[in-house]
């Protein structure tokens, strides 16, 4: 029977053999090739984010269609054997938001890796050899010749295209400040370069030196060590006093970058908030600055079809050295080690993107 890694408690992942469900006309089974790991995997694993246990984690799946119903094949335009990238969300496809294209805001949406094992057929996470593709799953075809650890970057890259371009409507020549050099910060650098942004600035902490160096390689104009330099002063200096047209905030937990984002934004600038802070209030937030500078404050959650497609086309073009992002890959059985590596809890390891290869 196929293997899945099941989270049974905080910091506990156990290998289990689970049966494959029968497939009807409207659904499918994915033979998982790879699953990306992000900060929310770390939070679920560590118990910071409450999830209904036991469950199979993994919401960034890449794989091949192992079995598919007739109607699903027609609807999705894929056949058995095709390689696909699977979106994280399972929208209802019936509500007003789904009907108007804003399916990332569907109130009835479900999310891969947050559905417990008890909900049939149980295979709702991609830390497994097989994933259940429900009738409302969203899949994108992707070049089967790409190495799996590169193809699986569709998820963070999709976020870069949506958060740094689609939401703030970034224009060629504009100055973009990206706060946080993690997977999604670096993906934002790549997306900004693709869109012809002018100056691209990236901030990070001293321990992020390797990520800031990578940001430079991927096209950032300048990087700023937020622990050694005054972010606001440095951004003003690098933009001739104007500030950034677009600010993308993708740091985890820290609230000071929100305050910095407002101070670094140009008059009439757009600030995209995508980093979650554990529901903390933001000390030092002065709303008058938003008013007086007429800043557009834009929340960002999730990725849309177009942004995923742009990310996939970019990966398939092989124009960007994405292998530099894919720093670590692990076999399925080492899922806990993979999560700890991404979290920076393994001594001597400096991870950017970690993937499980199945």
Judged by the rule CB under 5 A, the positions of this chain that interact with Zn ion are 38, 91-92, 95, 98, 106
88 vs 239, beta carbon nearer Zn ion? 88
95 vs 282, beta carbon nearer Zn ion? 95
Q: Which of 166, 154, 174 is closest to 84 using CA atoms?
A: 154
> Cα(4)–Cα(286) distance, rounded to whole angstroms?
48
CA distance readout (Å), 154 to 64, 148, 271, 313, 316: 15, 11, 24, 9, 10
106 vs 223, beta carbon nearer Zn ion? 106
98 vs 126, beta carbon nearer Zn ion? 98
Q: How far is the CB of 126 from Zn ion (least distance, A)?
A: 10
> Cα(315)–Cα(322) distance, rounded to whole angstroms?
8
Q: Number of helices (H) and strands (E), helices first, in the chain? A: 12, 17
113 vs 203, beta carbon nearer Zn ion? 113
Q: How far is the CB of 155 from Zn ion (least distance, A)?
A: 6
185 vs 243, beta carbon nearer Zn ion? 185
Q: How far is the CB of 59 from Zn ion (least distance, A)?
A: 5
Q: How far is the CB of 40 from Zn ion (least distance, A)?
A: 5
Q: How far is the CB of 171 from Zn ion (least distance, A)?
A: 28
Widest Cα–Cα separation across the chain: 63
The three-state secondary structure class of 76 is: helix
Strands 3-9 and 296-299: unpaired
> Cα(215)–Cα(200) distance, rounded to whole angstroms?
10
End-to-end CA separation in angstroms for the chain: 14
Q: How far is the CB of 152 from Zn ion (least distance, A)?
A: 11
Residue 66, CB-side half-sphere exposure with 13 Å CA sphere: 17
> Cα(245)–Cα(61) distance, rounded to whole angstroms?
34
Q: Are 156 and 36 in contact (CB under 8 A)?
A: yes
Q: Which of 238, 268, 218 is closest to 177 using CA atoms?
A: 238
Q: How far is the CB of 341 from Zn ion (least distance, A)?
A: 15
The three-state secondary structure class of 283 is: coil
What's the token pair of residue 279?
């529901």
60 vs 249, beta carbon nearer Zn ion? 60
Q: How far is the CB of 291 from Zn ion (least distance, A)?
A: 34
87 vs 194, beta carbon nearer Zn ion? 87
- 305's CB contacts (< 8 A; 6+ apart) are 87, 138, 140
Q: Are 355 and 326 in contact (CB under 8 A)?
A: yes
Q: How far is the CB of 213 from Zn ion (least distance, A)?
A: 24
95 vs 213, beta carbon nearer Zn ion? 95
């Amino acid at each position: 029977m196929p293997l899945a890694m099941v989270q049974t408690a905080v910091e506990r992942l156990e290998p289990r053999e689970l049966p494959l469900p029968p497939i009807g006309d409207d659904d499918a089974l994915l033979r998982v090739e790879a699953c990306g790991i992000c900060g929310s995997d770390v939070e679920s694993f560590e118990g910071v984010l409450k999830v209904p246990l036991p469950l199979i984690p993994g919401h960034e799946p890449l794989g091949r269609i192992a079995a598919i119903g007739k109607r699903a094949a027609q609807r999705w335009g894929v056949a058995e054997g095709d390689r696909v990238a699977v979106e994280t969300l399972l929208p209802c496809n019936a509500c007003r938001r789904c009907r108007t294209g804003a399916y990332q805001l569907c109130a009835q949406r479900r999310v891969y890796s947050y559905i417990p094992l008890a909900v049939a057929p149980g295979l709702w996470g991609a830390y497994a050899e097989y994933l259940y593709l429900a009738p409302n799953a969203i899949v994108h075809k992707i070049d089967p010749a790409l190495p799996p650890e590169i193809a699986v970057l569709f998820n963070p890259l999709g976020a870069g295209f949506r958060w740094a371009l689609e939401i703030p409507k970034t224009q060629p020549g504009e100055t973009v400040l990206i706060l946080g050099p993690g997977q999604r910060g670096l993906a934002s650098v790549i997306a900004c370069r693709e869109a012809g942004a002018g100056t691209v600035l990236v901030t990070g902490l001293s321990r992020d030196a390797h990520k800031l160096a990578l940001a430079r390689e991927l096209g950032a104009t300048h990087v700023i060590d937020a622990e050694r330099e005054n972010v606001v002063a440095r951004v003003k200096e690098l933009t001739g006093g104007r500030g950034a047209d677009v600010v993308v905030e993708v740091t985890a937990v820290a609230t000071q970058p929100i305050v910095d984002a407002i101070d670094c934004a140009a008059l009439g600038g757009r600030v995209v908030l995508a980093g979650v802070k554990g529901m903390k209030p933001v000390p030092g937030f002065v709303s008058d600055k938003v008013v007086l500078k007429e800043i557009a404050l834009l929340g960002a959650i999730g990725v849309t079809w177009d942004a995923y497609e742009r990310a996939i086309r970019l990966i398939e073009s092989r124009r960007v050295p994405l292998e530099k992002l894919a720093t670590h890959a692990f076999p399925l059985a080492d899922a806990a080690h993979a999560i700890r590596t991404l979290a920076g809890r393994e001594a001597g390891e400096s991870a950017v993107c970690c993937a499980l290869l199945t």
